[in-house]
Amino acid sequence: MVVASHNGYQGTTTMLRKMDEVERLKVRFVDLADTNAVLAAIPGAAMVYLESPTNPAIEVVDLPKIISAGKASGCGVAVDNTLATPLIQNPLALGADISIHSVTKYLSGHSDLILGSVSTNDQALYGRLEQARRYGGTIAGPFETWLALRGLRTFALRMQRSQENAMELAVRLSKDSRVSKVRYPGLTTDPYHARAKSFMKGFGAMISFEVNGTVAQIDLMCDSSKLITNATSLGGVESIWERRRRWATESQTIPESLIRFSVGIENVDDLWADIESAFVAAKIK
């Protein structure tokens, strides 16, 4: 039995749903931001699979409390730490068994690599994971490894600039009448602000916001930007956004009007001018 998010990263959620349907696994899908709901789902589970902030709802999960409860119940605890990155939170230090990253995203940071990483402090678990990787053939090539290491050298600088841009843009979006809701834990008005401050070292570079417009207008808005790319990836030096519900596999709990915005390292005023221009092109007033 696995406890997992009902509206997290769609790749993981879709895979878990398919495995649950064919009875390869039993999965309890819960709202990870609802701590009590997660704690109630833990008894009888073999693993708690967490992500925080969640993607794309940008909800902060109470990692210290849930990890502690999972370990106390004898569960394995894994955390997808892709959006937060190790600079903002360290799941292993909080007691998790496994920390997972899409190296494709912030760690490499240049949108030119497909790679993932799994980290653990447990030597026995490490041995099992290493053996599975070796015999399963999922071993990174030398060029992919070189690209990842190249990106890591500038990771801290890139993340600092992206976070600064995200904070400024979140503030501007929150004051814009064309936006109905901004999801960014760095805002003091965000429902997860206090929770994030309690154990995170920053607020990340991912914003989700909901626009007062039709689906067609919002799609046109995303297509009309010049500096911001309308695409699915995230975590690179370039800013990327998209309306997440354009994908059939995205959770139905995610609003049709939600844009996920991965903020890059460009000049913040240039980014804001691009957003303004996209609003105008889509005739969103």
Region 62-68 average pLDDT: 98
Which class would CATH give 155-281? Answer: alpha beta
Q: Tell me, what DSSP letter sits at residue 244?
A: G
In this predicted structure, the answer to whether residue 167 has a pLDDT above a threshold of 90 is yes
Q: How far is CA 70 from CA 73, 74, 176, 199, in A?
A: 5, 6, 41, 18
pLDDT of residue 178: 98
- DSSP lists the bridge partners of residue 102 as 116
Q: Tell me, what DSSP letter sits at residue 246?
A: G
Token digits for 135? Answer: 């015999």
Of all residues in the chain, the percent with pLDDT exceeding 90 is: 96
Query: Quick one: pLDDT band at residue 55, thresholds 50, 70, 90?
Result: very high
Contact 194, 175 (CB under 8 A): no
Q: Looking at the whole model, is its pTM more than 0.85?
A: yes
Contact 261, 208 (CB under 8 A): yes
pLDDT of residue 4: 97
pLDDT tens-digit series, residues 101-150: 999 999 999 999 999 999 999 999 999 999 998 888 888 999 999 999 99
Query: Quick one: pLDDT band at residue 213, thresholds 50, 70, 90?
Result: very high
pLDDT of residue 80: 98
> Can you say how many angstroms the Cα of residue 109 is from the centroid of all Cα atoms in its chain?
14
- Looking at domain 2-152, its CATH architecture is 3-Layer(aba) Sandwich (3.40)
- Return d(Cα 134, Cα 126) in angstroms, integer: 12
pLDDT of residue 138: 83
Exposed / middle / buried, residue 36 (Cβ in 10 Å: 0-12, 13-18, 19+) = exposed
Count, residues in the chain: 285
- The Cβ of residue 139 has, within 10 Å, a number of other Cβ atoms equal to 9
Of all residues in the chain, the percent with pLDDT exceeding 70 is: 100
pLDDT tens-digit series, residues 224-236: 999 999 999 999 9
Query: What are the residue boundaries of the structural domains of the chain, listed by start?
Result: 2-152, 155-281
pLDDT of residue 101: 97
pLDDT of residue 136: 86
pLDDT tens-digit series, residues 145-166: 999 999 999 999 999 999 999 9
- Return d(Cα 121, Cα 93) in angstroms, integer: 9
pLDDT of residue 223: 98
pLDDT tens-digit series, residues 256-281: 999 999 999 999 999 999 999 999 99
pLDDT of residue 21: 94
